[in-house]
Chain A
Amino acid sequence: MKMILAALIVMLLLSPAVLGGSGTVKTSVGTFTQTNVFFKPPECTKDIGGGYTISTSATGDEKTSLDFETESNFKLSEDRMISIDTGAKTSASGAKSFGMMAALTQIYPTANGYRSSIFQTHSYTIMPYLFAIEQLAGSKASDDTTGGYNNNVVTIGDKIFNFGAKSDSNGDTLSEETYDPSISTVPGFGWENGFDYINTVDECGLEYTGTLSTDSTLLVD
């Protein structure tokens, strides 16, 4: 019987952080971590759980600001693994760089120890000018699928540029990127992003970690 023992919705909203002083300042929402969300199904002596971490930061001038909002759902699936669906919306203004890193972890017990699946994504944008960015990033993991995305909308004055990447382990292509060709009119624009699929086995005194990572960098001369 499929049991749903709990659902967790977390909302975090941080007010814009305005730092004084001259020169480049760094605004960091810091790291928001929701870990160790564990379930214990009937007749199971070990916890089943997981969690996620999302971290964002921006650098810019005095009025750099960053808003951060996230929502996640945890669900016990087939009494043996939790499925996680998490998303985050981040807005930054007055920035010259913006970065995001998110990780999602599933932990489940086995007869001889524990195993885990981790999905990570990261994105980093730089621009020679002050810009505003709105990023939507999310990831999902269940017992047979894992994947995520980050979509970015950058505004410089009255110009708007879109770029994004997505990845999942079940589609035809491991990772795909799209970007607005007009971004080529912005010399100095740079965007790095990547995805990591990590599986661990910790059984019988042997720890194994296998990782599949994609990484992509785009630079405009």
Chain B
Amino acid sequence: MRSNSKSSVRSALICTLFFLVTASTASASVSVGVTLYNSDSAVSENVNVENANYASSAVLLPYTGFADFPYSIHSSGAGSSTNSEGKFSDSISANQNGEGANEVDASVKTNSGSFQWSKSIDSSSDVSMAIRVASKITNGDLDASYSNSNSAVEKEVSTWNGMYADKSYITAGSISSSGSGGSLDVMENGFLSHIEAQHLGKTAMIDSGIQEISEIEGADHKFSDGIKLNSESASLTGSLSILSNNKCELLPMVGISSGPIIAGMKFTPFYTNTEKSVFEVQTVPKDSSPISFRTVERTMPSNIKTFESVTLSMIAKWS
């Protein structure tokens, strides 16, 4: 008897919502906004997609603990690109009892790439929310931004004869993002990358790039970046490597004067509110001029194998 009563209450008071959004034709753009609220919490979601699918579901209850559910609002969703040129933005905000608003945002735009993302929100004794994003480009461009109420991350990456993949996880209290890429062809390859982290009153940016302008057999490259922002600290890393291969030797030259391959990195720190520099721009190489490289055909005896590499890297930490 009691069970039947509970069941009927469930039927009456559990509101389950499903959304399905598809924007798969070229330049098709679709947006959806959802607000869920009960006596405990209010959750708002805004999703915009272009050339992407998105589906979500939500469970809305009167209060936490109702019918033994551990939450009063639960929402989850996921989406993915349907075209190599697509974009999405997903914004979540929530508050409990009208206080302590939290916000998590993610947006990604790819040109010659793909992305997928998922998100979840639970409102119980506290509000937890997260967005997980994976994106990839091949000979294309990625423009991504991730943020919460305290922090923001920007990534802009372009590749030529190369690829790049990024994985990011954004919660109300932290952002972690890591990406890596590399050349797919030894001729005329390269990349440009701008990563930016805004956290704890400071903003730090790393700009890096490799450009190979030779039409002859050249070198390979790989690069990576990492960002970790949490309540107590921030870290930002970036690195790039130029690598010889079985067809060429690599000669690293000081300065821009000599080689058809150039590479460099720049670090810019400033105070977020005033935009005043924390200290002056730093570069690798240190003298602000890019490092250049020349590749030469291997002339050593066939039984001698050599491998050369040059790596530029930057690490920044603050708290």
A interface list, Cβ under 8 A from B: 112, 169-175, 181, 183-184, 187, 197, 199, 201, 203-221
With A and B bound together, what is the CA distance between A85 and B287 in angstroms?
22
Contact of B309 among A172, A210, A215 (CB under 8 A): A215
- Partner pick for A208 among B258, B267, B311, CB 8 A cutoff: B267
In the complex, what distance in Å separates the CA atom of A197 from the CA atom of B286? 9
- Could you pull out 28 A-B pairs where Cβ atoms are within 8 angstroms? A172-B254, A172-B255, A174-B252, A175-B252, A183-B304, A199-B286, A203-B279, A205-B319, A207-B316, A207-B318, A208-B282, A208-B314, A210-B313, A212-B286, A212-B310, A213-B310, A214-B252, A215-B308, A215-B310, A216-B306, A216-B307, A218-B306, A219-B304, A219-B305, A220-B304, A221-B303, A221-B304, A221-B305
Main SS of chain B's interface residues?
strand
User: A94 to nearest B CB, angstroms?
Assistant: 26
Extra pairs beyond A173-B252, A215-B309 (11, CB < 8 Å): A172-B255, A197-B285, A205-B319, A208-B314, A210-B267, A210-B313, A211-B312, A215-B311, A218-B304, A220-B304, A221-B305
Q: Which 4 A-B residue pairings sit nearest by Cβ, starting from the closest?
A: A174-B252, A221-B303, A206-B318, A210-B284
Once bound together, how far apart are the Cα atoms of A183 and B162, in whole Å? 37
A201 to B268, CA, bound (A): 12
- Contact residues in B for A203 (Cβ distance below 8 Å): 278-279
The reply to whether B284 and A220 contact each other, CB–CB distance below 8 Å, is: no
B305 neighbours in A (Cβ, 8 Å) = 218-221
Q: Given contacts A170-B254, A174-B310, A216-B306, are A208 and B269 in contact (CB under 8 A)?
A: yes
Say how far A98's CB is from chain B's closest CB, in angstroms.
19
Within 8 Å CB of B301, what residues of A? Answer: 181, 184
A176 CB to closest chain B CB (Å) equals 8
The A interface, classified by DSSP as helix, strand, loop or mixed, is: strand
Check if B316 sits within 8 Å of A206, measured CB to CB: yes
Question: Within 8 Å CB of B254, what residues of A?
Answer: 169-174
Q: How far is the CB of A31 from chain B (nearest CB, A)?
A: 24
Shortest CB distance A21–B (Å): 34
CB atoms of B278 and A204 under 8 A apart: yes
Q: Which A residues are CB-close (under 8 A) to B265?
A: 210
- A152 and B318 CA atoms in complex are apart in Å by 42
Contact A208 B316 (CB under 8 A): yes
Residue ID in chain B nearest A175 by CB atoms:
B252
Nearest-Cβ distance from residue B255 to partner chain A, whole angstroms: 8
Find chain A residues with CB under 8 A from B269 CB.
Answer: 206, 208
How near does chain A come to B101, taking the closest CB pair, in angstroms? 28
- Pair B286/A210 contact, Cβ less than 8 Å: yes
How far apart are the CA atoms of A190 and B252 in the complex, in Å? 22
CB contact between A206 and one of B251, B255, B317 (< 8 Å): that residue: B317
Give the shortest distance, in Å, between A141 (CB) and chain B (any CB).
12
B91 to chain A, nearest CB (A): 30
